[in-house]
Each structure stands twice: as structure tokens, then as C-alpha cells.
């Protein structure tokens, strides 16, 4: 009997959100990499636990910017979040990639029919969201316009 392949041997796609006053894209670029700590939502924790090295990440600045501004990559899978007061919370390590040629605003995302089901619009309070490859590619293509 043949063994089943892993659910996916190709990278997954994610969107992480941060308030620029707390940790901006420019901070990630300056630092080169960071532990993505401080996530205290159970659904977001499930997403962090699913992230794997090599996964592609869109960096979204919330509150003031309200735009996807850069590309990053997961470099270390989930590990205990040292900023948590209770066990079970996790972080991942992210490495800065490059800034998008043009930020992709929340208004652009809302106006794009192919992104109508994106988690950013359906679960706007989540700070870590999975994307399907087509959603990821569409946002990146909007950044080039």
C-alpha cells in the first residue's frame, strides 16, 4: 500500500497584521527577522501553529496605514511565546523579504471581487490569517499596479 503524500509540500500563504505604532514593516526590515509574539487569540494561535518554514507572508499595517506593505517568510515554526503569562501561546519567526512596489490598501482589497472571501474582510480582528495561493498572488499583482 502506497503512503499518502503530506497534505502539501508547497509553501502555504499567510497575512499577518500589526499596528505600525507597535511594530511596523520598517521595524521588520531594520531587524531582518523577528519572533512574531503577543498573539492572544485562539484562532490566530491555530494559524501560528500551522505555519512552516518557507511559507510566504504578507505584512499588513493596520489602524493608520490599512495596507499590505511587504513580503516576509516564516523561518522558524511555532515555539513558546516568551511574552505570554500563561502556557500554550506560541510565536513564529519571520524574516523580512521586500517591500511591495505599491502598498495594497484595504479599499483596493474590498474593491477586488476575487478577494471577497479573504479572511481580512471576513475576520477583520484576526492578526494571523491564512490565504489561498490565488488570494496571495492577486494581492501581490495589485501591488505592481
How many angstroms separate the CA atoms of 94 and 77, rounded?
9
pTM: 0.92
Tell me, which fold does domain 13-140 have in CATH?
ph1033 like fold (3.10.590)
Show pLDDT as tens, one digit a residue, over the chain (145 residues). Answer: 444 444 556 679 999 999 999 999 999 999 999 999 999 999 999 999 999 999 999 999 999 999 999 999 999 999 999 999 999 999 999 999 999 999 999 999 999 999 999 999 999 999 999 999 999 999 999 999 6
Q: How many angstroms separate the CA atoms of 72 and 77, rounded?
A: 14
Amino acid at each position: 500500500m502506497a503512503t499518502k503524500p503530506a497534505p502539501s509540500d508547497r509553501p502555504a500563504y499567510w497575512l499577518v497584521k500589526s499596528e505600525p505604532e507597535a511594530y511596523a514593516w520598517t521595524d521588520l526590515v531594520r531587524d531582518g527577522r523577528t519572533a512574531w509574539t503577543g498573539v492572544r487569540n485562539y484562532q490566530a494561535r491555530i494559524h501560528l501553529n500551522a505555519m512552516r518554514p518557507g511559507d510566504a507572508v504578507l505584512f499588513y499595517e493596520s489602524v493608520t496605514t490599512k495596507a499590505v506593505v511587504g513580503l516576509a517568510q516564516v523561518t522558524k515554526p511555532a515555539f513558546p511565546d516568551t511574552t505570554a503569562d500563561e502556557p500554550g501561546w506560541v510565536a513564529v519567526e519571520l524574516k523580512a523579504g521586500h517591500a511591495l512596489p505599491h502598498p495594497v490598501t484595504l479599499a483596493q482589497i474590498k474593491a477586488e471581487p476575487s478577494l471577497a472571501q479573504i479572511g481580512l474582510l471576513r475576520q477583520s480582528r484576526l492578526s494571523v490569517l491564512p490565504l489561498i495561493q490565488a488570494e496571495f498572488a492577486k494581492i501581490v499583482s495589485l501591488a505592481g499596479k
